[in-house]
Amino acid sequence: MFKNLLSFALLAISVANAQIVNSVDTMTLTNANVSPDGFTRAGILVNGVHGPLIRGGKNDNFELNVVNDLDNPTMLRPTSIHWHGLFQRGTNWADGADGVNQCPISPGHAFLYKFTPAGHAGTQYCDGLRGPMVIYDDNDPHAALYDEDDENTIITLADWYHIPAPSIQGAAQPDATLINGKGRYVGGPAAELSIVNVEQGKKYRMRLISLSCDPNWQFSIDGHELTIIEVDGQLTEPHTVDRLQIFTGQRYSFVLDANQPVDNYWIRAQPNKGRNGLAGTFANGVNSAILRYAGAANADPTTSANPNPAQLNEADLHALIDPAAPGIPTPGAADVNLRFQLGFSGGRFTINGTAYESPSVPTLLQIMSGAQSANDLLPAGSVYELPRNQVVELVVPAGVLGGPHPFHLHGHAFSVVRSAGSSTYNFVNPVKRDVVSLGVTGDEVTIRFVTDNPGPWFFHCHIEFHLMNGLAIVFAEDMANTVDANNPPVEWAQLCEIYDDLPPEATSIQTVVRRAEPTGFSAKFRREGL
């Protein structure tokens, strides 16, 4: 993210009817006209499709060659891919956050990402460079709870805009909700809706993922309960609800029991915002898809939503494996205790008074080039050094405009010892995840994690438009061991050289992005011979 500030694609763990990309494969990025909701506009495709599924096994060695053939001048062209939810132990250079872990992949060039799963320039994300990634575990402890788990049981939610993301002014208001890449907009045609097929009597592991740039959704399926068994790639004790609120970047696996009469049932995803009243309606199938039982008619459902649904409360979710939060079970008793105060000033978001500005030299490259402490690192005021193998407790109050703000930590899952809306702490078996909502004004979230993964890791609001406006920091974790823990390929360093040599027209609209320019120590930065 950030040579053009967030050319950051969420390819997050957890579409039907889409091309499948395997663990060793090529991903070619192109621009083309698309009409997922019946309105035609330019977008971004991967291997000719909108949001392909990337799949692999828990122990696979991934080698994904990203080829940048983007050429539309109304959208950002330099790019990088963030593999959301993968912790990149020993491969911090492959995390994909432009400005933190790498320089962008320039138009007309390619870059090979290599990593093994262990457990992002203006935004292109909102223009279609996003999709699901599923890592299958042959030893799933919850396997006995369901019969089916494949590419047909993935449900993605995305917001869609009728103009390119860089052209959006003011508060973003999506035109449509896309479920598995299809949807309708208010006042638009009856475009095709996505269908999730089931057989009566079977149980399905549904993998629900938010690919949102901004809104959150209230998700439910008429007539069916959702038994949650996994959150953001972390297994939980089974917990049954009727409806859940899902924020950008979050993922849930839930078991759906197809125990209802053969029929069609509405799948509902109600956003918290949208253009032309999108947030307040399901009329004409907006914000909807169809759950279709085998043998049901080829028709839209006539079902109704539960008027009094049992709503998910995050504090009711409990980790299944190694459930205890790390460290002394007392608030403020971690090895490192931090508090981040969010603000908004001069059109920019701030954390502890500083708005994040993308450095012209990625943080990892600064460290690989000899930076010794956070004081040496850019952007000034936005890098927090964390020592090795320490328990970190981070408190973040809600309240800044534009919320609820979902915050994502790269490189780690964390224990949510105090959830939004809760006044109590749980150090015994809190939910583990990597994206947490801060809630509304008056709420305060507390998380804990252990610094066991050397490298710079991004911590940011996952609402893309807020991230572009400074709502982020970088944790420089175990700086002394970062060089030894990471061995980037020569091509990684060459990304910066290639990008720096691009003519202005090749970087498209990069001039709108604030940059932190290096001084002092930066004279020692080198971009080759690592």
Q: Are 482 and 367 in contact (CB under 8 A)?
A: yes
Do 150 and 136 lie in a common domain?
Answer: no
DSSP H or E stretch at residue 450? strand 444-450
Do 396 and 456 lie in a common domain?
Answer: yes
47-71 pLDDT, tens per residue? Answer: 888 778 888 888 899 999 999 999 9
Whether the model pTM is above 0.85: yes
Do 358 and 309 lie in a common domain?
Answer: no
pLDDT exceeds 90 at position 513: no
51 part of a folded domain: yes
Look at residues 475, 275, 250 and name the one whose alpha carbon lies nearest to residue 374.
475
Which residue among 91, 117, 140 closes a domain? 140
- Say what percent of the chain tops pLDDT 90: 74
134-181 pLDDT, tens per residue? Answer: 889 889 999 999 999 999 999 999 999 988 776 676 678 999 999 999
DSSP H or E stretch at residue 162? none
Do 172 and 124 lie in a common domain?
Answer: no
Query: What's the whole-number average pLDDT of the chain?
Result: 89
The CATH number of residue 347's host domain is: 2.60.40.420
326 part of a folded domain: no
| Residue 517: pLDDT band with limits 50, 70, 90 | very low
| Residue 126: pLDDT band with limits 50, 70, 90 | low
List the structure tokens of 349.
Answer: 């978001």
CA–CA gap between residue 94 and residue 88 (Å, rounded):
7
Domain span including residue 95: 8-140
Do 381 and 436 lie in a common domain?
Answer: yes
Distances (CA, A) of 477 to 205, 268, 388, 458: 35, 41, 7, 10
Q: Are 317 and 231 in contact (CB under 8 A)?
A: yes
Do 122 and 153 lie in a common domain?
Answer: no
pLDDT exceeds 90 at position 6: no
Do 150 and 134 lie in a common domain?
Answer: no
pLDDT of residue 504: 74
Do 131 and 153 lie in a common domain?
Answer: no
Name residue, tokens 């149980």. Answer: 203
More confident residue, 192 or 50: 192
Do 16 and 130 lie in a common domain?
Answer: yes
| Residue 16: pLDDT band with limits 50, 70, 90 | very low
Do 134 and 156 lie in a common domain?
Answer: no
Q: Report how many domains make up the chain.
A: 3
